[in-house]
Amino acid sequence: MNSSLDIILKTEAGSLIFAPVNVREGEGKFDFNITCVLVSRFSGLLSGNFVCRLFRGDIERLLIYFYDHVQVLMAGGGEAPSFVPLEGDIQIAALDGDVVDMLDGYFTINILFNCGKPDEASSNVYFGFEAVVELSELNKFCDGLRRLVFS
């Protein structure tokens, strides 16, 4: 953890550390271990690591998703539909916020992790959290994804 390749999304509740563990650029596949490092008040609520596979197209769509959401908030709009990558390992919903421009503002983000099925007859179960993310932190996260995928 805390490698130079780690990509961090910092929110008011804490940070999600996306650590690349298997990068197959030629195939456009990026596997991550995601560690939740929440502030002390919430540290026992969502502990552990989660795995997530994102394809190059997923990452490109996520970058566009965040950019478009900030544009909508700048125009006075609100929530966006959830972003779900191809493998469905994570769900992200960009919610309401206050944005001045691409560098100044914040919005609430909802992040859910697919924790699997309790049994074969059940559907997948998701756990996660909702917190405010500052655009400065979101921009750092997006820059990290761009470096990983496009460099």
Distance CA 32, CA 80 (A): 25
Per-residue confidence band for 2, with pLDDT thresholds at 50, 70 and 90: low
| Coil, helix or strand at residue 87 | coil
Give me the percent of the chain exceeding a pLDDT of 90. Answer: 77
The residue type of 129 is: F
- Summarised one tens digit per residue, pLDDT across range 80-111 is 999 999 999 999 999 999 999 999 999 999 99
CB atoms within 10 A of CB 104: 12
Q: If you write DSSP's letter for every residue of 112-137 in order, what string do you get?
A: EEE---SSTTSPP-EEEEEEEEEHHH
Q: For residues 122-134, give the mean pLDDT.
A: 93
pLDDT tens per residue across span 40-72: 888 778 777 899 999 999 999 999 999 999 999
Phi-psi region of 118 (alpha: psi -120 to 50; beta: other; left: phi over 0): alpha
Question: How many Cα atoms within 13 Å fall on the side-chain side of residue 91?
Answer: 16
